[in-house]
Amino acid sequence: MDQQVYAIGVKGQKWGDAEKAQWINVQSIKRSYQDEVLVKVQALKDLFDVEQYGALSYDVERYPLLAVKSKNWDANKATILVTGGVHGYETSGVQGAIRFAETKAADYAKHFNILVAPCISPWGYETINRWNPKAIDPNRSFYADSPAEESAALIKLLADLDVEIFAHIDLHETTDTDNSEFRPALSARDAVEHTNWNIPDGFYLVGDTIHPQDEFQTAIIKSVEQVTHIAPADDDGKLIGVDLAQFGVINYATKALGLCAGVTDAKYVTTTEVYPDSPLSDDENCIVAQVAAITGGLDYLLSL
């Protein structure tokens, strides 16, 4: 985790514009938002209202931002928000949100209003990045006057919608590249040393420190457990350096950290963390795990 291992910048000095320019120069498009996301979302038009809520200024034609809303929006129903691709490289977050919309959301729309924003960071999706082109992490930028337009666009969508969100599930992954690339890059950008930790081997959840909703998290873990393995705590009883709240669950201060999971005042909030690099897992298994997390959470809410 020593920042000397990162190719850009000088140890002990924060990145300036020159280092950020160096960083963006080595990024490249590796997959197609059009083919892997937009085509699938547009195909949902018969089942749902598909709305464009913005476009990334880097290339407004290439990066329209789409949200999927249940039809027959009903003020008497509780509203559910599902977000994916806040970190664009975390593939199953995007594909899991789409799969949920394709296969499950219509059933749950009998009980809830459902809003799915499947790919908050399409540039990150295409370039397999955690940051946006300005070397900003959208998932630390969900606050007023956000410097990340990905985050600002979702905040505006929710403000324009102007409904209370009952539950919000934000879909993520924790990957081996977090330790090999993204955390070293962060350490270099900010000229700070990070505590080292191992990437958890399996699925886990990040709840909210202030409103942990333990039973909601438990229900999601039990649902995901049917399809993939849950990450055991490390030797210190932690996951990514944080004490376990319960098996497979840690809590973060979502609002204070500017996380997407803190973007609403929802009573029930969680962030999923799928582990895609396990030999026990594959792309499809990761997508299925994301869907199981959403449906496990929604089934719990229906049981209340």
Residue whose CB is less far from Zn ion, 113 or 272: 272
- What residues are paired with 68 via a beta bridge? 50, 116
DSSP bridge partners of 171 = 84, 272
Minimal distance, residue 106 CB to Zn ion, in Å: 27
Bridge-partner residues for 78, per DSSP? 112
User: Closest CB to Zn ion among 90 and 150?
Assistant: 90
Shortest CB 258 distance to Zn ion, Å? 13
Stretch near Zn ion under the rule CB under 5 A, chosen from 80-88, 202-210, 234-242, 247-255: 80-88
Q: Which stretch binds Zn ion (CB under 5 A): 13-21, 69-77, 164-172, 290-298?
A: 164-172
Of the ranges 42-50, 85-93, 212-220, 235-243, which one interacts with Zn ion (CB under 5 A)? 85-93
Nearer to Zn ion, 90 or 149 (CB): 90
Q: How far is the CB of 87 from Zn ion (least distance, A)?
A: 3
Which residue, 90 or 208, has its beta carbon nearer to Zn ion? Answer: 90
Question: Would you say 90 or 102 has its CB closer to Zn ion?
Answer: 90
CA–CA distance, 124 with 265 (Å, rounded to integer): 26
Among 44, 68, 79, 87, binds Zn ion (CB under 5 A): 87
Least distance CB 18 / Zn ion (angstroms) = 27
| Residue 183 binds Zn ion (CB under 5 A) | no
The distance of closest approach from Cβ of residue 26 to Zn ion in the complex, given in angstroms and rounded to an integer, is: 21
Site residues (CB under 5 A) for Zn ion, limited to 138-157: none
Give me the least distance between CB of 175 and Zn ion, in Å please: 9
Instruction: Tell me whether residue 87 or residue 183 sits nearer to Zn ion (CB atom).
Output: 87
For Zn ion, the closer CB: 90 or 201? 90
Q: How far is the CB of 245 from Zn ion (least distance, A)?
A: 19
How many residues bind Zn ion (CB under 5 A)? The answer is 3
Query: What is the rounded distance in angstroms from the CA atom of residue 50 to the CA atom of residue 116?
Result: 10
Q: Which of 20, 168, 172, 183 binds Zn ion (CB under 5 A)?
A: 172
Residues that bind Zn ion (CB under 5 A): 87, 90, 172
